[in-house]
Amino acid sequence: MMINSVGTFASIWLALWLALSVLFVLVYPLLRPALLNLHPRHGSTLLLAYWVLPFAASLLSTLILFMPPAETLLVEAHCHEDCASHVPLIDSAVLAWFGIVLGAVVVLGLVWRFVATLHRSRQLHAQFDFLGRRRGAWYEMESDCPLVFTLGWWRPRIYLSSGLRAACSEQDLDIILQHERAHQERRDNLRLLVARLCCAILPAPLAQRVLSDLQVVTEQACDFRAAERCGEVAVAETLLKIKRLLLQRPASLPQDAMAFAERDVEARIKALLVASSRVTLQGWQLLALLVLGVALLGAMVGPLHHGSEWVIDALGAHATLPH
Amino acid sequence: MLPNTLGELELGVLEALWQEADLDAKAICQRIPAIRQPSLSTVQSTLERLHRKELVSRTKSGHAYTYAPRVSRSNLLGRLMGDIIHLLHDGKLETILSSFVTVAADLDDSSLADLEALIARKKQEKALA
């Protein structure tokens, strides 16, 4: 019975995660204009929530489905062979094992991806900490290559090359560091990691496409943070200046490496120049969205219970596990 | 994945050689800080790895080799940054690091000029307001 329960749990969770992910991808074009019109601080948070939701909602609602007290509250009473409270259950060892193996593969895949990325991150940290020189809140790296980045998840650090530092004015440097500090405070690398893991059930090219907006809005959120201190026009000018600097890059830098995100810069500069037109959400609106999300999650459990029973019936493998 | 990534001990050995070139394994071992001081044989195998990676050169001197760095600190950093730019380009680092500069990638001249004109117009509007 334990095998059947775990197999059913894994099957329902994965099927629901996939179904919700596909649904969210299909609905996204309708919501996209409104989300991208928000202030990027809110837009990035809501976009992250949007792409995390299929994973979180599928996992939580499946957990609730298998939790007797919550399930009894959220699923209307109905009868099969008897009218006792029950959870849907696959009564086929083959299907149950299939669910377990599939679930294990997905969970191990996620853990593997996380550990591999963590390892790479640590390697880079150790290397740059060793080779760089600490300058207060950031590290300087002696290199002509014009590069600045924020590395790490929980306690990210800022690394800036001496080549970039030499080419920038004090104000440019201030803007760049403000931007990177915003990444640091918002823990954007961690946010992107979470989003990527939660979209892992989608095919890689599709996941890449749906997450590209999140990346651009995240950059915009940091641009806007820098603009609060230095002004939108100044930040736009610095972006353009850095762009020009890259055009005069040292020959040793790979040509193709510089040509991967031209729309990002254009979108970021344009966003800065119309910053005042962005909609800022009020606290109560964010709270209302949260309440709506919780209510939808609760409302999902009933249909999920009946839907699962219907699918299991259709597979000819139905049994019910009384509480 | 990161061809120019080195381990902590490899970096420690290189650091010792950047401070003073033409050292043998024993002298390098003594120059590595006491907290992580490795055994002589570990340093020798690390030097062998660095030699294979063409990061140090060696010359036979009696029974032992003396070593000298073949890359400078900034050269190594440059290579590392090249790796990072490549990996950012391939989207393989996006969950580890965020970059201000590398995303400011190539636009053609006319797009650049358009953006410049947009900024100038905005500046003018602000000045008039």
10-residue averages of pLDDT along chain A (323 residues) = 83 90 93 93 93 91 79 69 69 83 92 86 82 88 81 86 88 91 90 90 85 88 92 91 71 35 71 86 89 85 79 68 54
CB A221 within 8 A of CB A46: no
CB A32 within 8 A of CB A210: no
Distance (Å, whole) CA A216 – CA B106 = 16
In a domain? residue B104: yes
**Structure confidence at residue B103 (pLDDT):** 41
> Which of B96, B115, B123 lies nearest to residue A269, judging by beta carbons?
B115
Q: Phi and psi dihedrals of B63, rounded to 5?
A: -90, -15
Order of strands, sheet of B23-24, starting from the edge strand that comes earlier in the sequence: B23-24, B64-69, B56-61
User: Which residues in chain A have their CB less than 8 angstroms from residue B105's CB?
Assistant: 243, 246, 258-262, 264-265
In a domain? residue B42: yes
**Structure confidence at residue A263 (pLDDT):** 46
Is there a single domain that holds both residue B62 and residue B94?
A: no
Residues 213-242 in A contacting B (C-alpha not used; CB under 8 Å): 215, 218-219, 222, 232-233, 236-237, 239-240, 242
What b/e string do you get for A67-80 counting C-beta neighbours within 10 Å, with b at 16 or more?
eeeebeebbeeeee
In a domain? residue B65: yes
Is there a single domain that holds both residue B23 and residue B64?
A: yes
- Closest Cα in chain B, distance from residue A193 (Å): 5
- pLDDT-based confidence at residue B70 (cuts at 50, 70, 90): very high
Domain boundary among B69, B88, B113: B69
Nearest to A187 by CA among A230, A222, A217: A222
User: Which residues in chain B have their CB less than 8 angstroms from residue A269's CB?
Assistant: 115, 118-119
In a domain? residue B101: yes
Is there a single domain that holds both residue B93 and residue B121?
A: yes
Contact A148 B122 (CB under 8 A): no
Residues 24-63 in B contacting A (C-alpha not used; CB under 8 Å): none
- Write out the two tokens for A264: 């990002």
Distance (Å, whole) CA B56 – CA B48 = 9
- The position carrying tokens 């991806």 is A113
**Structure confidence at residue A253 (pLDDT):** 42
**Which chain A residue's Cα is nearest to B89?**
A257
Domain boundary among B24, B47, B69: B69
Is B8 an 8 Å CB contact of chain A? yes
> Which of A152, A161, A259 lies nearest to residue B105, judging by beta carbons?
A259
Is there a single domain that holds both residue B93 and residue B115?
A: yes
ipTM: 0.72
Is there a single domain that holds both residue B95 and residue B123?
A: yes
Distance (Å, whole) CA A8 – CA A13 = 8
Contact B8 A179 (CB under 8 A): no
Is there a single domain that holds both residue B101 and residue B120?
A: yes
Is there a single domain that holds both residue B39 and residue B64?
A: yes
**Which chain A residue's Cα is nearest to B114?**
A266
Is there a single domain that holds both residue B60 and residue B83?
A: no
**Structure confidence at residue A261 (pLDDT):** 35
Is there a single domain that holds both residue B62 and residue B81?
A: no
Nearest to A100 by CA among A198, A200, A12, A197: A12
Residues 79-118 in B contacting A (C-alpha not used; CB under 8 Å): 80-82, 84-86, 88-89, 91, 93-107, 111-112, 115-116, 118
In a domain? residue B50: yes
Give the three-state DSSP class for A37: coil
In a domain? residue B29: yes
In a domain? residue B1: no
Is there a single domain that holds both residue B82 and residue B61?
A: no
Is B9 an 8 Å CB contact of chain A? no
Domain boundary among B69, B88, B116: B69
The CATH number given to whatever domain includes residue B24 is 1.10.10.10
> Which of B103, B123, B126 lies nearest to residue A265, judging by beta carbons?
B103
User: Which residues in chain B have their CB less than 8 angstroms from residue A142's CB?
Assistant: 73-74, 77
Is there a single domain that holds both residue B61 and residue B14?
A: yes
Nearest to A92 by CA among A308, A304, A313, A323: A313
Give the three-state DSSP class for A87: strand
**Structure confidence at residue B104 (pLDDT):** 41
Is there a single domain that holds both residue B61 and residue B16?
A: yes
**Structure confidence at residue A108 (pLDDT):** 94
**Which chain B residue's Cα is nearest to A216?**
B103
- Closest Cα in chain A, distance from residue B100 (Å): 6
**Structure confidence at residue A54 (pLDDT):** 92
**Which chain B residue's Cα is nearest to A159?**
B99
Total number of domains constituting chain B: 2
Q: Which domain holds residue B32?
A: 8-69
> Which of A148, A237, A254 lies nearest to residue B101, judging by beta carbons?
A148
In a domain? residue B91: yes
